Every structure is written in structure tokens, then in C-alpha cells.
């Protein structure tokens, strides 16, 4: 099958890990007879500083012509925080209605986790983060700015339709997994939003009687997730809580360098976007220390999303095999450079499949 993929390497280690993912995809293409055409797009700090361009209509029109978007990372110390993150990444998620941010939390066999005694059997869940609303809508105001009486108001917007689409997706996902769904929120304090989330879960649940549904407050989740991840299968949560608990999930599964994600458009109105969950890591950019496995596994998620399950599984298997030999976080002691890891994963795909 043939596909057209938009590639946005971005900033910092984004281009490094993207190169790794593309090399692995090339190996997969040969073995599984896929034909993938890539179109590279300039975006990120350098492009912004040179042109002033962030997310814009022309770019959106071009990206819409592709089957999916593969994204590196964005953010740079030379650009004021938020400009690229809000002005590009969030803008894309919202414009392309990438309603679901799907983040598997899976401890692969042999991978180093900081949680003592944790085994892969106990850690295999999926976090479904609402990706377009909540506190990330960018609405708010500051009153009496720069005075002793300053008040900053940051709004969180939750719509029934926005919640419904991720909750519906989560139940469907749960039906294909262990039929267990957990709503994670803070409904004892965030009364308005929490009630709407719980109402929607309750009403969608009536159509999925086989799914076992429960509820956990987000603060308690930070305790349960590292200690007893086996309690969870599909966790559905809002944008902010999801952002936070998925980083925790990444730590449990072996570090930011191994965690993958998909930003899914559910109605086919625009492409979905796939990215490692880490950022641009300016502290290690250009050093060759970045672990490309998160980006490689995100490319596998992209192939699975496009219907290429066998190719996706091949990448996952090869990447996991390499992870066994790596410490959880990057550094001079990682033992293998970014390019070496990508090369080993690629050659394993070529020899094993």
C-alpha cells in the first residue's frame, strides 16, 4: 500500500529522533512492500525567527493532503516559552480536531524502570487524553497586571461534544482490551467540569454494559499509577490531567525517551499526528544522546493507524529488543548513540522479518 506522510522534525532533538524513525520506516517499507512518500516541512524555532511563521492556513492546507503527520518536537530557548508550543503544536491539534491524545503506558520486557519490582505483566495500560479543550483552550485574562493586586484567570472549557468523542473512543478501545475503563478527574473540587465528565461517562457506559467502569481522582492517580498500574486498562481524562499523568506513565515505562503518542482525528476530517511524548530536550540536542525509540514507536503507531498492523508490530518488536540494552535515560553512559540505536533497530527488522 502507498501513503503520503508529512514530516515535521522541528527543534532540538526533534530532527535527531526523526532521522532515526525515518531510517526504521525505510527498513520496514522494504520488508513489508509499503510505498511511503515523505514531504518535509520547515517549522519550529529557526523557521519562526527567520519568517515569523507559526501554524497558518497555507501550511494547514498542505498538511491536509497527507495521510498522516509525523512530528519531532518543538520548543527552543531562543523563543519565548509558549509561542511555538501554543502557536504550532496546540494549534495543529485544535485545527485538525485531533480529539484524542493516545498514550500507551507499556513496560516492555527487559526495559529498566525506576519502579522497583514492577513487571511487564503489571504495566500495560492506555491513557486517552482529551486533546483540544480544557485548560488548553487559551482563554483567560489578567486583571491589574504588574501591580500587587494582579489576578490571573485561566479558564478551562469542557463541552459535552468534546468529552463525548473521547469517552466514546475510550469505551471502544476498552472493548478491544480488558474491558475496564477509569475516569480520572478531580470532580470533588472542579465541580462543574467534573460533573459533566462523569455524566458523559455514565451515559455512554449504558451502551457498553460489558465494560467495568470506575473513577479515580487525579492526585490519587499519581499514587496508584507507579505503585499499582495493573489496576488500569483504559484511563480517560481531560487535557491538563492527561498531560501530567502521561509523563508519569512515561517514567514508569522507562523514561521520556521511550514513550510514544498519537494525536488522533476521529472523523477523518484531517490527518492524525504521531510524536514521541518528549519535548525538544535542548540540554542534549546535537549530542547524539537522544533516545529515538519514542519516535520510532510513534512511527509504528502511525503505521498501525494506517492499517499496517504487521509492519507496526515488526517495528515494536525490534525496538523493544534494543531497549533491553539501554539504561532508562540518555547520557554519555547510554552506550549507544541516537544513530546507532536506529541502525540496530533497522537491521533487526531487515534480518528478522
For ligand NAI, the binding residues (CB under 6 A) are: 13, 17, 73-75, 85, 89, 256-257, 275, 278-284, 290-291, 294, 329-330
Residue 215, C-beta contacts closer than 8 angstroms, at least 6 positions apart: 182, 183, 184, 185, 187, 198, 201
Minimum CB–partner distance for residue 112 and ligand NAI (Å): 13
Closer residue to ligand NAI in complex, CB, 19/85:
85
Residue nearest to Mg ion (CB): 243
Closer residue to ligand NAI in complex, CB, 10/194:
10
Closer residue to ligand NAI in complex, CB, 284/302:
284
Q: Does 130 bind Mg ion (CB under 5 A)?
A: no
Torsion over CA: 51, 52, 53, 57 (sign): negative
Residue nearest to ligand NAI (CB): 75
Strand 68-73: give its sheet, edge to edge: 35-40, 2-10, 68-73, 272-276, 260-264, 100-106, 124-130, 234-237, 180-185, 212-217
Q: Going by DSSP bridges, is the β-strand pair 68-73/272-276 parallel, antiparallel, or unpaired?
A: parallel
Cell numbers standing for residue 147: 501591580
Minimum CB–partner distance for residue 189 and ligand NAI (Å): 26
User: For residue 312, what are the CA distances in angstroms to 252, 302, 303?
Assistant: 23, 8, 6
How many residues contact Mg ion, by CB under 5 A?
Answer: 1
Q: How many other CB atoms sit within 10 Å of the CB of residue 60? A: 14
229 binds, among Mg ion, ligand NAI, none (CB under 5 to 8 A by kind): none
235 binds, among ligand NAI, Mg ion, none (CB under 5 to 8 A by kind): none
312 binds, among Mg ion, ligand NAI, none (CB under 5 to 8 A by kind): none
Closer residue to Mg ion in complex, CB, 129/185:
129
Minimum CB–partner distance for residue 41 and Mg ion (Å): 22
Minimum CB–partner distance for residue 71 and ligand NAI (Å): 7
- Report the C-alpha gap between 148 and 269 in whole angstroms: 47
- Per-position x/- string for 225-264, each x denoting binding to Mg ion as judged by CB under 5 A, each - no binding: ------------------x---------------------
Question: In sequence order, what E strands does 11-123 have?
Answer: 35-40, 68-73, 100-106
Cell numbers standing for residue 235: 484511563
Closer residue to ligand NAI in complex, CB, 111/329:
329
Minimum CB–partner distance for residue 265 and ligand NAI (Å): 17
- Report the C-alpha gap between 9 and 16 in whole angstroms: 8
Angle between helices 309-323 and 14-32 (to 10 degrees): 130
Residues that bind Mg ion (CB under 5 A): 243
Amino acid at each position: 500500500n502507498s501513503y503520503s506522510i508529512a514530516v515535521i522534525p522541528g527543534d532540538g532533538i526533534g530532527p535527531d529522533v526523526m532521522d532515526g524513525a525515518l531510517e526504521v520506516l525505510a527498513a520496514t517499507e522494504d520488508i513489508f512492500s509499503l510505498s511511503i512518500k515523505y514531504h518535509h516541512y520547515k517549522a519550529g524555532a529557526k523557521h519562526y525567527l527567520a519568517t515569523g511563521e507559526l501554524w497558518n492556513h497555507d501550511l494547514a492546507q498542505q498538511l491536509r493532503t497527507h495521510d498522516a503527520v509525523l512530528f519531532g518536537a518543538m520548543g527552543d530557548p531562543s523563543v519565548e516559552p509558549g509561542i511555538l508550543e501554543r502557536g504550532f503544536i496546540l494549534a495543529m491539534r485544535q485545527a485538525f480536531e485531533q480529539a484524542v491524545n493516545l498514550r500507551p503506558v507499556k513496560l516492555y520486557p527487559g526495559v529498566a524502570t525506576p519502579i522497583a519490582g514492577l513487571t511487564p505483566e503489571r504495566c500495560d495500560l492506555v491513557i486517552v487524553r482529551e486533546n483540544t479543550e480544557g485548560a488548553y483552550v487559551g482563554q483567560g485574562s489578567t486583571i491589574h497586571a504588574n501591580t500587587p493586586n494582579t489576578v490571573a484567570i485561566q479558564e478551562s472549557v469542557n463541552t459535552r461534544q468534546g468529552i463525548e468523542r473521547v469517552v466514546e473512543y475510550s469505551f471502544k478501545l476498552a472493548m478491544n482490551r480488558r474491558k475496564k475503563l477509569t475516569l480520572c478527574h478531580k470532580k470533588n473540587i472542579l465541580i462543574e467540569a467534573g460533573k459533566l465528565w462523569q455524566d458523559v461517562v455514565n451515559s455512554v457506559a449504558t451502551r457498553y454494559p460489558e465494560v467495568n467502569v470506575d473513577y479515580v481522582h487525579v492526585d490519587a492517580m499519581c499514587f496508584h499509577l507507579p505503585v499499582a498500574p495493573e489496576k488500569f486498562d483504559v484511563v480517560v481524562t481531560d487535557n491538563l490531567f492527561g498531560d501530567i499523568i502521561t509523563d508519569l506513565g512515561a517514567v514508569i515505562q522507562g523514561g521520556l525517551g521511550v514513550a510514544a503518542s498519537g494525536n488522533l482525528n476521529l472523523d477523518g476530517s484531517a490527518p492524525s499526528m504521531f510524536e514521541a511524548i518528549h519535548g525538544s530536550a535542548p540540554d542534549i540536542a546535537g549530542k547524539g544522546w537522544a533516545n529515538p525509540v519514542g519516535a520510532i514507536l510513534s512511527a509504528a503507531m502511525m503505521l498501525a493507524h494506517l492499517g499496517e498492523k504487521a509492519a507496526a508490530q515488526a517495528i515494536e518488536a525490534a525496538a523493544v529488543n534494543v531497549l533491553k540494552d539501554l539504561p532508562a535515560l540518555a547520557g554519555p553512559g547510554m552506550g549507544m548513540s541516537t544513530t546507532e540505536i536506529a541502525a540496530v533497530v533497522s537491521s533487526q527488522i531487515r534480518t528478522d522479518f
